[in-house]
Amino acid sequence: MATPVLPFGSARLPRLCFLSYRQIREFAMPVVAEYAGRAEIEVVDGTFGRALALAQDRLERGSVDAFVSAGSNASILRAGLQAPVATIQLGGFDLLQALIQARRIAGRVGVVMYGQTIPELEAVKDLLNIEISQHAYQTPDDARQRFETLRRAGFEVIVGSSLVVELAEQAGLTGLLAYSLASIRKGFDDALELARVARLEAGRYEQLHSVLHNLQEAVVAVDRQDRIIAVNPPMQQLLGGPGVRLAGQALDTLEPALSLRATLQSGLQERAVAQRFAQRDWVAHRTPIREHGEIVGAALTLYDAGAIQAADTSLRMLQRRQQHAARHGFGSLVGSSAALQRAIASARRFARTDLGVLITGESGVGKELFAQGIHNDSRRAGRPFVAVNCASFPESLLESELFGYEEGAFTGSRRGGKRGLFEAAHTGTLFLDEIGDMPLPLQTRLLRVLQEREVMRLGATAPVPIDVRVIAATHQPLAELIAQQRFRQDLYYRINTLRLAIAPLRERREDIAALAAPLVARCLARQGAHIDAEQALAPLLPRLVAYDWPGNVRELENIAERIAVFLMQYDRPDQVDHAALAHDCPELFAGTAGRIAPDGSPLPQAERIRQALRDAGGQRAGAARRLGVSRSTLWRWLRELGWDTEAQDPPAP
């Protein structure tokens, strides 16, 4: 039912639509009458299911500046409309008045409100000497269930929203509306202010026709009858060429595909609509032109779709070059060990797919190098490669970095908002390093993004579709974190489609020399030193190979820098006092006595294992600690050597 309080003839008064249930509409009519001289008010009865459709109909007809509503209807309108919605708020004093009125009728009162319960009522019921049972609902079915619970419990007076009052009346009980006329007046005041601001925003388009010739895009403006009143040179060329008189011609007759009659009738703006015209693809914007709130014409702007795509590609490529580029390929992975070559072979296979990859391995083994190699060997090569360390951000900052935010989403947010790393990685790869350290709430959001392939910015109302391959990495035992409920099992299965395990450096010692020499040489070159790095480093190789490298390649890079700085003081390799390096690199000298043979070469693996077992009294756990490996690795080595994994004493050499 619709009750127009004033006709929609005047353009001077704000146009409000009061959309509500019958009960609150009847209660609010005195306030509607008070505001009749300040606004054109249409009163519409709209239930939970029909409210959004009724509101959208009025927006399409251009008959409203702002809506006024309460409770569930207000929530639906705010979520579903791009239009001002003023909410009639329930105040504590409103509810107190309703409870005082209810106490005069019965000593037991049920309260059913939309949204959530009110903890303060527990104190009020003692003050009023009244029994109160309160409930909250989210949907009409919820409301009916809560109401039935109270009815079966013998409550004869129900305080609540319009929907609840209607249910009470239908059941023959007493229903009291939990709103006051003061709250309704406040809602209408808010709506008037929202309407005023909306009209100011609409006024931006009133000067469009005076600036057409300063635009590079093709633009045409028409009057109320769709007759051309202004056109700029690019549009002149499209519609008829130089010298052809276009002013006064009906646009829908001249070019029906470009007609603005629908915009004139609806008063709605259309943005970024694909348009095929003159054998070219365009992006069309249709905008109504208003003066003092009345539609006096409309404007059409055509943007060259090809130019937009080229600009988008250029911007993405520029951003990739500046921020999000994968610099390394599989050629950057140095080493000949079987463990490394197996990992590279697997990574090359994975690169030929678009599936997610989980890279596991200790810190410093080069997980990001493998991720970059997979990206650069895939069809996404040349597209953005965005890396983020999930352990390096606090939870609130990591959320905004990953998902982005809209302007005003939180205090201090950037003007205009900011796109997140998922959007920055669009068409490319997002590398989530140390995913095992991601907070649980963000794991839930990440799982939804991976499932839906769309991301919702903080403060946004609509998701953004994305095309991103996700490669995750961790040094954490995710299975143990799942058992401890610190990592979501469903997220684990989502990211663990393809698994790539990177062996630590101590399990591929034959790669150490190939890694160390170039690292030392590059550092010496940066410092301007001319000593031969490979010759100067040769006497140290047994110690480098014997060391267990708990920090893996990252630690090797660090020590290579120290060695290079030490070697800078010498001109020739035969001058180097390698023993003096113990001061700068004590770790290479402190724990290798049992790992280097008398001639300075590293002990073979079998001898190292045999000696560690002897030193540990045959205990496998102690031997593993001395070797700097896990017990499972030690058992694998024993099986590879053909030794008895249960024997207390190692076999004789």
Residue pLDDT, tens place only, 184-206: 899 899 999 888 877 765 554 34
Task: Note the pLDDT of residue 271.
Answer: 81
Task: Note the pLDDT of residue 505.
Answer: 92
> CB-side exposure of 369: number of CA atoms within 13 Å?
16
**Residue 151 Cα to chain centre, angstroms:** 45
pLDDT-derived band at 290, boundaries 50, 70, 90: confident
The CB density around residue 505, as the number of other CB atoms within 10 Å, is 28
Report the run of H or E that residue 4 belongs to, with start and end: strand 2-4
pLDDT at 471 over 50: yes
Q: Using CA atoms, how far apart are residues 165 and 21, in angstroms rounded to an integer?
A: 10
Q: Which amino acid is at 543?
A: R
Which of 84, 71, 16 shows the shortest CA–CA distance to 183?
A: 71
Tokens of 206: 């009133």
Q: Using CA atoms, how far apart are residues 86 and 486, in angstroms rounded to an integer?
A: 42
Task: Note the pLDDT of residue 610.
Answer: 78
Residue 335, judged by CB atoms within 10 A of its CB (0-12, 13-18, 19+), counts as: buried
Least confident of 161-170, 260-269, 410-419, 625-634: 410-419
Task: Note the pLDDT of residue 127.
Answer: 76
Q: Which amino acid is at 46?
A: G
Calculate mean pLDDT across residues 266-272.
Answer: 85
- Label the pairing between strands 108-114 and 131-137: parallel
Task: Note the pLDDT of residue 231.
Answer: 81
Q: Using CA atoms, how far apart are residues 460 and 440, in angstroms rounded to an integer?
A: 22
- What angle do helix axes 631-641 and 620-627 make, rounded to 10 degrees? 100
Tokens of 152: 């079966």
Q: Which amino acid is at 448?
A: R
Question: Is the Cα torsion angle 557, 563, 569, 572 positive or negative in sign?
Answer: negative
- Is residue 161 a contact partner of residue 114, using CB atoms and an 8 Å limit? yes
Within 8 A by CB and 6+ apart from 278, the residues are 238
pLDDT at 418 over 80: no
Tokens 């390394």: give the residue.
328
Helices (H), 160-301: 162-170, 181-202, 233-239, 251-254, 261-266
Q: Using CA atoms, how far apart are residues 128 and 95, in angstroms rounded to an integer?
A: 12
Please report the beta strands in 423-542, taking only residues with DSSP state E, as ranges in sequence order.
429-433, 454-455, 464-465, 469-474, 498-501
Q: What is the pLDDT of residues 329-347, one digit of tens each?
A: 898 899 889 999 999 999 9
pLDDT at 424 over 60: yes
Tokens of 639: 């099986």
Q: What is the pLDDT of residues 121-138, one digit of tens each?
A: 777 777 778 888 888 888
Output 126 or 480, whichever has higher pLDDT: 480
Within 8 A by CB and 6+ apart from 125, the residues are 131, 132
Least confident of 273-277, 370-374, 505-509: 273-277
Which DSSP symbol is given to 171? T
pLDDT-derived band at 648, boundaries 50, 70, 90: low
pLDDT at 277 over 50: yes
- Label the pairing between strands 108-114 and 85-88: unpaired
pLDDT at 95 over 90: no
Task: Note the pLDDT of residue 208.
Answer: 47
Q: What is the pLDDT of residues 205-230, one digit of tens each?
A: 345 445 666 667 888 888 888 888 88
- Is residue 215 a contact partner of residue 300, using CB atoms and an 8 Å limit? no
Output 325 or 488, whichever has higher pLDDT: 488
Q: Which amino acid is at 467?
A: D
Output 630 or 509, whichever has higher pLDDT: 509
- What DSSP string describes 556-593? HHHHHHHHHHHHTT-SSGGG--GGGGGGT-THHHHS-G
Please report, rounded to a whole number, the percentage of residues in the chain having pLDDT higher than 70. 85
Three-class secondary structure of residue 294 per DSSP = strand
- Is residue 121 a contact partner of residue 134, using CB atoms and an 8 Å limit? yes
Q: What is the pLDDT of residues 577-635, one digit of tens each?
A: 888 888 888 888 765 544 555 444 555 667 767 777 877 777 887 777 666 566 766 77
- Is residue 376 a contact partner of residue 325, using CB atoms and an 8 Å limit? no
Q: Using CA atoms, how far apart are residues 299 and 263, in angstroms rounded to an integer?
A: 9
pLDDT at 8 over 50: no
Q: What is the pLDDT of residues 47-67, one digit of tens each?
A: 767 888 888 888 878 788 899
Within 8 A by CB and 6+ apart from 609, the residues are 623, 627, 634, 637, 638, 641, 650
Task: Note the pLDDT of residue 596.
Answer: 54
Task: Name 94's bridge partners.
Answer: none
Q: Using CA atoms, how far apart are residues 536 and 517, in angstroms rounded to an integer?
A: 9
Within 8 A by CB and 6+ apart from 257, the residues are 275, 276, 277
Tokens 């609540």: give the residue.
160
pLDDT at 90 over 50: yes
Within 8 A by CB and 6+ apart from 649, the residues are 613, 618
Distance from first CA to last CA of the chain, Å, rounded?
Answer: 98
> How far lies 520's CA from each of 141, 546, 567, in Å?
72, 18, 9
pLDDT at 68 over 60: yes
Task: Note the pLDDT of residue 321.
Answer: 47
pLDDT-derived band at 6, boundaries 50, 70, 90: very low
The CB density around residue 74, as the number of other CB atoms within 10 Å, is 22
pLDDT-derived band at 385, boundaries 50, 70, 90: very high
Q: Using CA atoms, how far apart are residues 288 and 127, in angstroms rounded to an integer?
A: 58
Task: Note the pLDDT of residue 2.
Answer: 45
Tokens of 388: 């983020």
Task: Note the pLDDT of residue 408.
Answer: 57
Task: Note the pLDDT of residue 223.
Answer: 85
Q: What average pLDDT does the chain have?
A: 82
- Is residue 367 a contact partner of residue 433, using CB atoms and an 8 Å limit? yes
Q: What is the pLDDT of residues 537-563, one digit of tens each?
A: 988 888 898 888 888 998 899 999 999
Backbone angles phi, psi at 282, to 5 degrees: -130, 160
- Is residue 441 a contact partner of residue 425, using CB atoms and an 8 Å limit? no
Judged by phi (left if over 0) then psi (alpha if -120 to 50, else beta), residue 255 lies in beta
Helices (H), 377-475: 395-403, 421-424, 440-452
